[in-house]
Amino acid sequence: MKTRAARRRSAGRTSSTSLATALLLAACAVSPPPPVSPPPVVAAAPRVPGGLLEDAASDWHSLLLMPFGTLLKTSPVPLHEVLLFSDEAHPRLPADGRECFAPNGAPPSLFGVKPDEYLLCFAADRLERIEASVTLASVDAGARFAHACRTWLQDAVPQAAVDGVCEGRGDGATLHARLSSPPGVGRATVSLTIIAAPVP
């Protein structure tokens, strides 16, 4: 038969064991969950040209804020004059009295982005020329430009068949477009010049 002292020692050991177990369970309960690894980053795929939205975004007709031949004084869009400077290395416009203007508000978008440059040029006070340039990501600029060129020339007479160049006549205008993509820059520039067809 256990003595009274032995029973006290046994009870003490039992209490200590129970306390240790309780502390261990409490520690497990408040332990933070193991870290969750973030999902892998997947690079965005280049835009695949085509479809109605892409065709609408690249339609050069969106740059026509008014019909060719519109008188400057009757422009439906508020304009301000833009002074252009030319040199022999980078000619802009011939010195034939042509004046160029930009809209006071936001210019129309092309390829879904705001143009870096957008000019409405008048000769003899009539709209005769539009110049615009936009910046695209170089990863898909070539494919988007080629697709846009095919769309632009569907009902036009092609005038050039060179990579990065799109030229043609049709729909009352002559289109000149260029794609410039310097290596290692990560972006490309599409430049367009749209000239009104001569009035017969």
Tens of pLDDT, residues 164-196? 899 988 888 999 999 998 888 899 999 999 999
- Can you tell me the distance from the alpha carbon of 174 to that of 193, in angstroms, rounded to the nearest whole number? 8
Q: Hey, where are the domains in the chain?
A: 52-196
101-149 per-position pLDDT tens digit: 999 999 999 999 999 999 999 999 999 999 999 999 989 899 999 989 8
- Can you tell me the distance from the alpha carbon of 93 to that of 107, in angstroms, rounded to the nearest whole number? 21
26-61 per-position pLDDT tens digit: 444 445 555 655 544 434 434 444 455 666 788 888
State the pTM of this model.
Answer: 0.67
* Contact indicator for 128, 195 with CB cutoff of 8 Å: yes
Q: What is the pLDDT of residue 185?
A: 83
The token pair at 2 is 């256990």
Higher pLDDT, 39 or 161: 161
Tell me which residue of 68, 62, 82 sits closest to 123, measured CA to CA. Answer: 68
Q: How confident is the model at residue 154 (pLDDT cuts 50, 70, 90)?
A: confident
Q: What is the pLDDT of residue 155?
A: 76
Q: What is the pLDDT of residue 151?
A: 87
- Can you tell me the distance from the alpha carbon of 126 to that of 100, in angstroms, rounded to the nearest whole number? 11
